[in-house]
Structure 1
Amino acid sequence: MDVGDSPLLKFAADLRSLRDKAGGHSYRQLGARAHYSATTLSDAAGGRRLPTLAVTLAYVRACEGDVAEWEDRWRQVAAEVLPADPDLDEGHPPYAGLAAYGTEDAEWFFGRDHVLDDLEQRLAHRRFVAVFGASGAGKSSLLRAGLVPRVTGRVVVTAPSETADPDLDADLLIVDQFEEVFTLWADVEQRASYVDALLTARCKVVVGVRADFYGHCAQHPALVEALADGQLLLGPMGAEELRQVIMQPAVKASCTVETALVSRLIADATGQAGVLPLMSHALLETWRRRRGTTLTLAGYEAAGGVQHAIAQTAERTYTSLERQQRALARQVFLRLTALGDGTEDTKRRLPRAELDDDVDVDVVLDRLAHARLLTLDRDSVEIAHEALIRSWPRLRGWLAEDREGLRTMRRLTEAAATWESLGRDPDALYRGTRLDTAVEWTQRDGVRTSAQERDFLAESLQSRDRERLLAHRRTRRLRQLVALLAVLLLLAGTAVVIAITAQKEAAAGWRSSAAWYVANQSQSLRSSDARLADQLAIVAHDLNPNDETRNGVLTAHATDELDTATRAAFASAQALSDPDREQDPLRRVLGPADETVTSIAVNGAGQAFATTAVDGRGKVWDVTDLTPEVAHTFDFPVDRIAFDPARARTLVTVSELSGVVVWDWSDPAKPVEAARLTDQPHRVVGVVHSPDGRILVTFDVMGVVRLWDLSDLKAPEPLVKLDTGRDITSVALSHDHRTLALGTAKGDVRLYDVSAPADPAELWSGRAHRGAVQAMGFDRTGDALATVGTQDVVALWDVSDPRQAVGRGRVNGLTEGVYAVGFGDTATDVVTSKSNGTTRSWEFDYDTAVAEMCAEVTAHITREEWQQYVGAVGVLDYDRPCG
């Protein structure tokens, strides 16, 4: 047999080789280990057909093989030997996939009869009913394919994104995706008007609402009253209901379903909230891989099952695009997602005009729609179902990379549309900080703006240049006026005081303008002549000493700093560096360039570190030797991971599957589960140890922060529960465990006193960054706090009095990928660690920064350079800033 004949034969041959390497056990001996018959295992390695995934993994475990590696191999082979057959796709598919069942699909809709009976009874006695349910519970299908066919008379089905003026001329008005009132409309009056129109309508009204927006509905008193006894909660389907969903459409399509597949689907879906679109998509992909007229378990596993089918379809469709088309697809998905604020991310209906009229854009939309990932109509585009946002790791990774940048994009899109609707009114243009933030965002890698947005920013920049020119002219006229006053004062002694005062003000204004001009010259020379740029930054501060020019010098100093390869991440408040960056193991184990690392943690001894990737793989790496090795790979998807920075024996993982798990990893190759932190009703999105490793801090999507005592690994003790109601993005606990710092997605920093665990008290809050706070850290004394923002700013705060934090400096520099921040030898030496295995120092002491910058100067500013860059703003004697 030539093992190269087919992927299936090669797969079978490798299974036999695995058995030989394990000692050549007989199939009867393997059967006793794998709990399958010898015949089943022999057939698995025979190559006549692909064994099921369960049999394959049992065979591999019995031979002590790598289970994760063989599962990947099985899925690759399954995709080749169990492909979707296009010849079988004729006719109406019995399953809707990600899309909701519409009114035209009523004959294919099953499983919700008792819920529909209940809903009809409520409508018979009430004029207004709300159906609440988790995303993916089937609300849209229930209303469109279930309720509409049962109603006599005129029925209108709409959504807030389709119209802001509901059609009330009907017997029954169904408003699907009612939560769009809160996600799409910022105008409170518009929301109230829409809600009032529904509540006062003469027709009967049914609204479908995502359950996590229940609290938003409470903001409207009249709506609260209407919901008092007019709400229906749609929960997960039971086993019999799921059986109908699986079997009845297949029977209608003259197909059969293997009993093993029915049992497997019910086991995978029972009791799971939001599982229906995942199951429907998995069934659709299984139907495409059917064997004749039979839907098989092997086809289901080849499709990826409930957990992986959507991600598999999305990933396959995405990777089949050309390179430039993949970049377009990324931008399309980001624009189609509305970021949650205390709620999960949701889909967003995108006007077609928001995308450029481009052939590649049309190709991308067509391919994604053909894969049923998007739905298109004449004027708009939207994601087929929010389950795609939850289930596709690549999309979750995109959304996690730069959430504040996505909010900047959304604000820019809305501002550009408003400007266009107002006839390009100059008063609607961006100015000041908003313009700077938007321009900075457009310069990031991978960012793509629409033609309307580009026109809007270009006009905003031109308007700013015109305003600056006018300001410069006004300043020149003021200086001329001062000169005239000086002459007049010689003739009018009574005007001396006035003249002196005006001259001082003019001098101050001149020095301010001069400093601003020199600072701009410094920035423009940064990439071409860093030596000269440094000296000009110091001159600008000498001309007008203030916080802005001081920060300019600190930024120049930070720009000169090089990233340093590291093996530690502030285990002892000072990063350890290796001068040979190319040989450092951290640079060589993060994976290929296209693999996104979502989190990284380094143990206190610098002997090991852990990573999680966008596809959910979590690994622990041993770097005690120069060549890193994988010490352990977790067999379940891991979202976040954290090491004990001090004791070097505790590891914490966070995942949707297992929640928060504390591991004893005294043996790095075999971490042992010590305990699970079960009191976590919502998805945990962050986990951080205290500097001594004794306290663990977790925070979830609802803004609830918890502190846990890990003194006894097997019985962690809950210490503090703090319900902030904020979108928390980072936390830090002081070395004495008394002060807790929280950073939010809106750039706020909040300090809490947690010395009394039963009664934590807020001490101070303030705006620290324009974007999200992505890392925080206290110095050892607890008197200084460093914060890192997503918009490329590192800030230092004096928190010696935590009730009145004082800013000590803001330094601009690249902060992308920063996951931790700490301090070096002094309370002004801030050090950040990035996920690419490097650290960078940020000095906040002005004298130290100037001394270090001047020490590197080998050629002082010349008289000619002084005249060109400093003398241009007025008469100023040549004075070298570095002596």
Structure 2
Amino acid sequence: MDPRGNTRWRTPAIVLAALLAVSLVVAGLVWKREHDRATAQERAALAHGLALHAAELRDAAPGTARDLGLAAVKIHPDGQTRAGLIDTLVGERSSELTPDASSEVALSGDGRIALTGDDDEVSVWDLTTWLDPKIIEKSDRIAVLKGHKEDVGAVALSFDGRTALTGDDDGTTIMWDLTDPAKPVRMAVVVNERDTEYANSVLAVALSRDGRTALIAGLGGDVTVWDLTDRSRPARLSMTAHASSIDDLGLSADGRSAVIVDNDGAVTVWDLSDPSHPVKSADLTLPAKSAVATAMSADGRVVLVGNAHRAELWNLDDRSRPVRTAAFDVPLADMYDMASAPDGKTALLAGPGDSGILWDLSDPSRPARLAALKGYTREIDSVALGADGGVALAAGPGGVSLWDLRGLAEVVADPEGAACRGHTSAAISKADWARYTGSTDWSDYGEEDWGALAVCLISPGST
């Protein structure tokens, strides 16, 4: 036999064997890739279903909602499941301050003193016990500000909580001394001039940090600047007239800058360096629909304006040349109110529906959604933020709710860790697993013979 012939046949055979091996490897890799893709899709679908159930159970069964939301993140940690778990954990930090309807709310800078107003009265609250989890019995309102004959439509509280303004539909603004919040003292009354009933109802009020400068806006479109150095004898310094009534306004802590939104949606920036002669320094040109609400940081350098579906962030380092730093979509059907924390790094936007949206503005060019403050069955009319975003209030026909948001940054950064801390024994029973996942076998996420699925021990999914 010719050995060269064997070699001639052996080489093609080797090549064919190699090609077959490569084909098998490629087929195996393709199968694995498709299998992994299908598995990832199954995990994502399961996680999103659990997150949806968690959202539905937040009010009725918050513990179950937390466990299901945590399981969703463990199984498939994406933006949707993380946001759902964060919203659930934030919801656990809420309390019902009062079930009574309230159309207006205000907070002191440290978040300790609150005002809630409805009809012709304004309640004063000391939130000290509400912000201490060790105290079970929470304090009731400590005082009521009376003296209005018509519904109160605007309230403001100085940063230190010692001065309050309350304005009503009769055009009357009352100035209060809350040095002892349990024993408020009415210091002075200002009545807007008007030609007909309700023609100059008070729609918005604002106070400087020290409570010495006030802005009062009326339905007729006038905005007056007041010197409250002597709170028993307020002195009107100036008035500006606008083409239509005022929807909202903001005042810097030093009282030197203001932003005003009128009913036509125009937004103007005012220089109050000389409060006796206010100067309009700029118009904020909005490319989208007109604005209906605004909020200003304490230093007057950051302004937020918004309307249904959209908000914009502006920098006022140069009040004559405002710079738009960001615009972002807001998942609200309408905008009823917004509030900025004193440091301007957190904002709360609210409107119709059952939630307000909390935003991180620490990077002015990239606002980021932090959480939804849920718990309402009706619209939110008024919101307030204090203590650099650590305390939030939301008021409406359904009452007033308080959120303790201290430590929120840690929750947002690591919702899994936050959910498991103090709840290491969190588990989903087989009955609940079947109820919320159908026939899904949990053996991919825990031991098959376990009596319950230990949520914090679920094998993490891939992003």
Same fold (TM over 0.5): yes
Asked whether 1:727 is paired with 2:287, we answer no
Match of 2:164 among 609, 613, 617: 609
Contact (CA 8 Å) 2:205, 2:249: kept in 1 or not?
yes
Aligned-partner Cα distance in 1 for 2:320–2:223: 22
Q: Structure 1 residues 597 and 548, CA, compared in 2 at 3 Å: closer, same or farther?
A: farther
Q: 1:502: how far off? A: 1.6
Q: Structure 1 residues 856 and 809, CA, compared in 2 at 3 Å: closer, same or farther?
A: same
Aligned-partner Cα distance in 2 for 1:798–1:520: 28
SS of the aligned residue for 2:454 comes to: coil
Instruction: Give 1:690's aligned residue.
Output: 252
Q: Structure 1 residues 516 and 596, CA, compared in 2 at 3 Å: closer, same or farther?
A: farther
Asked whether 1:880 is paired with 2:443, we answer no
Q: 1:553: how far off? A: 1.0
SS of the aligned residue for 1:515 comes to: helix
Instruction: Give 2:233's aligned residue.
Output: 670
**Deviation digits for residues 428-453 of structure 1, max 9, x if unmatched?**
xxxxxxxxxxxxxxxxxxxxxxxxxx
Instruction: Give 1:511's aligned residue.
Output: 43
Q: 1:859: how far off? A: 6.5
Instruction: Give 2:141's aligned residue.
Output: 584
Asked whether 1:860 is paired with 2:426, we answer yes
How does 1:183-582 map onto structure 2 within 5 Å? 495-563=27-95, 569=106, 571-572=108-109, 574-575=111-112, 577-579=127-129
Q: Structure 1 residues 850 and 507, CA, compared in 2 at 3 Å: closer, same or farther?
A: closer
Contact (CA 8 Å) 1:565, 1:581: kept in 2 or not?
no
Asked whether 1:654 is paired with 2:228, we answer no
Q: 1:874: how far off? A: 1.8
How does 1:762-841 map onto structure 2 within 5 Å? 762-777=324-339, 784-790=345-351, 791=353, 792-798=355-361, 800-802=363-365, 805-814=366-375, 816-817=379-380, 819-822=382-385, 824=387, 829=390, 831-832=392-393, 834=395, 839-841=402-404
Q: 1:832: how far off? A: 3.8
Aligned-partner Cα distance in 2 for 1:714–1:740: 23
Q: Structure 1 residues 859 and 502, CA, compared in 2 at 3 Å: closer, same or farther?
A: closer
Aligned-partner residue type, residue 71 of structure 2: V
Q: Structure 1 residues 511 and 590, CA, compared in 2 at 3 Å: closer, same or farther?
A: farther
Aligned-partner residue type, residue 167 of structure 2: T
Q: 1:703: how far off? A: 2.6
Asked whether 1:709 is paired with 2:271, we answer yes
Instruction: Give 2:14's aligned residue.
Output: none
Aligned-partner Cα distance in 1 for 2:146–2:35: 61
Q: 1:794: how far off? A: 1.0
Aligned-partner residue type, residue 496 of structure 1: G
Q: 1:850: how far off? A: 5.2
Higher helix share: 1
Aligned-partner Cα distance in 2 for 1:673–1:545: 57
Q: 1:764: how far off? A: 2.9
**Deviation digits for residues 339-371 of structure 1, max 9, x if unmatched?**
xxxxxxxxxxxxxxxxxxxxxxxxxxxxxxxxx
SS of the aligned residue for 1:504 comes to: helix
Aligned-partner residue type, residue 789 of structure 1: A
Q: Structure 1 residues 807 and 718, CA, compared in 2 at 3 Å: closer, same or farther?
A: same
How does 1:98-177 map onto structure 2 within 5 Å? none
Higher strand share: 2
SS of the aligned residue for 1:511 comes to: helix
CA RMSD, Structure 1 to Structure 2 (Å): 3.7
Aligned-partner Cα distance in 1 for 2:381–2:232: 28
Q: 1:854: how far off? A: 4.4
Aligned-partner Cα distance in 2 for 1:553–1:801: 25
Contact (CA 8 Å) 1:776, 1:785: kept in 2 or not?
no
- Consecutive unaligned residues of structure 1, counting only runs of 5 or more, are 1-490
Aligned-partner Cα distance in 2 for 1:629–1:582: 21
Aligned-partner residue type, residue 822 of structure 1: L
Aligned-partner Cα distance in 1 for 2:341–2:224: 28
Q: 1:748: how far off? A: 0.9
Instruction: Give 2:412's aligned residue.
Output: 846
Q: 1:704: how far off? A: 2.4
Aligned-partner residue type, residue 695 of structure 1: S
Q: 1:499: how far off? A: 1.7
Aligned-partner Cα distance in 1 for 2:51–2:85: 9
Contact (CA 8 Å) 2:338, 2:347: kept in 1 or not?
yes
**Deviation digits for residues 93-122 of structure 1, max 9, x if unmatched?**
xxxxxxxxxxxxxxxxxxxxxxxxxxxxxx
Aligned-partner Cα distance in 1 for 2:163–2:401: 15
Aligned-partner Cα distance in 2 for 1:524–1:681: 46
- Consecutive unaligned residues of structure 2, counting only runs of 5 or more, are 1-22, 99-104, 114-126, 130-136, 193-199, 447-451, 458-463
Contact (CA 8 Å) 1:569, 1:575: kept in 2 or not?
no
Contact (CA 8 Å) 2:154, 2:166: kept in 1 or not?
yes
**Deviation digits for residues 582-603 of structure 1, max 9, x if unmatched?**
53246x44899xx854322112
Q: 1:507: how far off? A: 0.9
Aligned-partner Cα distance in 1 for 2:380–2:175: 19
Q: Structure 1 residues 772 and 841, CA, compared in 2 at 3 Å: closer, same or farther?
A: farther
SS of the aligned residue for 2:455 comes to: coil
Instruction: Give 1:234's aligned residue.
Output: none
Q: 1:557: how far off? A: 1.6
Aligned-partner residue type, residue 80 of structure 2: E
Contact (CA 8 Å) 1:638, 1:653: kept in 2 or not?
no
Contact (CA 8 Å) 1:573, 1:779: kept in 2 or not?
no
Q: 1:757: how far off? A: 3.3
Q: 1:562: how far off? A: 2.8
Higher relative contact order (CA 8 A, sep 6+): 2
Aligned-partner Cα distance in 2 for 1:858–1:508: 26
Aligned-partner residue type, residue 165 of structure 2: A
Instruction: Give 2:118's aligned residue.
Output: none
Number of residue pairs aligned between Structure 1 and Structure 2:
383
Q: 1:552: how far off? A: 0.8
Q: Structure 1 residues 698 and 763, CA, compared in 2 at 3 Å: closer, same or farther?
A: same
Aligned-partner Cα distance in 1 for 2:415–2:77: 15
**Deviation digits for residues 557-589 of structure 1, max 9, x if unmatched?**
2222233759x9554365552327553246x44
Q: 1:540: how far off? A: 1.0
Aligned-partner Cα distance in 2 for 1:516–1:537: 9
**Deviation digits for residues 276-312 of structure 1, max 9, x if unmatched?**
xxxxxxxxxxxxxxxxxxxxxxxxxxxxxxxxxxxxx
Q: 1:765: how far off? A: 2.1
**Deviation digits for residues 799-856 of structure 1, max 9, x if unmatched?**
5252xx242434251474453443646x7x5634547776423435335655555456
Aligned-partner Cα distance in 2 for 1:613–1:560: 35
Aligned-partner residue type, residue 687 of structure 1: L
Contact (CA 8 Å) 1:776, 1:787: kept in 2 or not?
yes
Instruction: Give 2:174's aligned residue.
Output: 619
Instruction: Give 1:599's aligned residue.
Output: 154
**Deviation digits for residues 399-434 of structure 1, max 9, x if unmatched?**
xxxxxxxxxxxxxxxxxxxxxxxxxxxxxxxxxxxx
Aligned-partner Cα distance in 2 for 1:575–1:850: 30
Contact (CA 8 Å) 1:600, 1:819: kept in 2 or not?
no
What is the percent sequence identity of the aligned residues? 18
Aligned-partner residue type, residue 650 of structure 1: T
Aligned-partner Cα distance in 1 for 2:320–2:94: 45
Instruction: Give 1:289's aligned residue.
Output: none
Q: Structure 1 residues 728 and 578, CA, compared in 2 at 3 Å: closer, same or farther?
A: same
Asked whether 1:741 is paired with 2:291, we answer no
Q: TM-score under structure 1 normalisation?
A: 0.39
Q: 1:503: how far off? A: 1.0
Contact (CA 8 Å) 2:293, 2:306: kept in 1 or not?
yes
Contact (CA 8 Å) 1:573, 1:822: kept in 2 or not?
no
Moved more, 761-770 or 815-824: 815-824
Q: Structure 1 residues 690 and 820, CA, compared in 2 at 3 Å: closer, same or farther?
A: farther
Aligned-partner Cα distance in 2 for 1:564–1:630: 28
Contact (CA 8 Å) 2:380, 2:395: kept in 1 or not?
yes
Runs of 4+ with deviation above 6 angstroms: none
